[in-house]
Chains A and B, each alone.
Chain A
Amino acid sequence: MRKLQKPKLKSKSKSKGKVNNRIKEIRTAHTKLTQEGLGKQVGATRQTIIAIEAGKYAPSMELAFRIAKEFGVPFEDVFQFDPDG
């Protein structure tokens, strides 16, 4: 059984893939939420939302699901795994 990996502050791996997200795109196109507003709704700071949108921080599963739920869209519409990233 594969060992689950903890979320990393910044992905250093070249071959393990990368989690991309469309948070900024969905947030600005379909909601009126600011980064701070989204952070308050999902229990994160504005700086963390900034880091996630910039791809500098991979959120935990819980936070990722909260963000998708806040947008009212399926999880995979917000987060995608890029194996070559």
Chain B
Amino acid sequence: MKAKNELSEAERYAWATLIATGVVFLMFWGRMTDGFQVLNLGAKDLLGLYLRVIMTFIVLHIIIAVIFAAKRGKEAQDGDVVERDERDMAIERKGSRTEFWVLAIIVQMVIFTLLFENAFPDGYTLPISVLSASGMFFVLMSGFFIADIAKRITMIIAYKS
């Protein structure tokens, strides 16, 4: 890893958001599973967990955005204003493409699993069932987090290459 002062603001932002998303994903994973076994929670528990996870995610990302915006404001006063340029935007586009494809693959896997479970109810042996609200909720939320993490990792790799 490069020294802290060698990272651009956009790269530091990518690291901060990766850590924030990772923390929320771990929190979600801890509440939804018993190790690697998905817990079968009730609808009200799922709704409560959903709201907590989403609110935590949003609040963490807002805090990070505010911290970076405040820093930008301070640097603008000092005349040091270039914090994001065309390379940063190109790298973000690359990350977004990765995010899209990861999410697309996960959604297709959910669709296949859902259809397969309905078509062959006795022959289903995969570890996660999407027929229950718990299973579907877990898979879709995990997909959301994994796609976001994939985006941030793609960006960090692009910055290093």
Contacting pair A47 B11 (CB below 8 A): yes
Q: Which residues of A contact B52 (CB under 8 A)?
A: none
The yes or no answer to B90 lying at the interface (CB within 8 A) is yes
Supposing A9-B158, A9-B161 touch, asked if A40 and B80 sit within 8 A by C-beta, the answer is: yes
Measured between alpha carbons, how far is A43 from B83 in the docked complex, in Å?
Answer: 9
| Chain A 55-71 per-residue mask, 1 if CB under 8 angstroms from chain B, else 0 | 01101101100000000
Q: Which residues of B contact A60 (CB under 8 A)?
A: 86
Contacting pair A57 B82 (CB below 8 A): no
Who on chain B is nearest to A46 by CB? B8
- Of the four ranges (under 10, 10 to 19, 20 to 34, 35 or more), the interface on chain B belongs to 20 to 34
Contacting pair A7 B80 (CB below 8 A): no
Q: Which residues of B contact A57 (CB under 8 A)?
A: 87
Who on chain B is nearest to A39 by CB? B82
A46 to chain B, nearest CB (A): 7
Contacting pair A45 B80 (CB below 8 A): no
The secondary structure that dominates the A interface is loop
Measured between alpha carbons, how far is A15 from B79 in the docked complex, in Å?
Answer: 43
Q: Which residues of A contact B7 (CB under 8 A)?
A: 47
B77 to chain A, nearest CB (A): 15
Q: Which of B81, B83, B87 contacts A51 (CB 8 A)?
A: B87
Who on chain A is nearest to B6 by CB? A47
B29 to chain A, nearest CB (A): 32
Measured between alpha carbons, how far is A31 from B67 in the docked complex, in Å?
Answer: 35
Which residues in A have some Cβ–Cβ distance to B below 8 Å? 7, 9-10, 39-40, 43-48, 51, 56-57, 59-60, 62-63
Which residues in B have some Cβ–Cβ distance to A below 8 Å? 6-11, 80-88, 90-91, 94, 158-159, 161
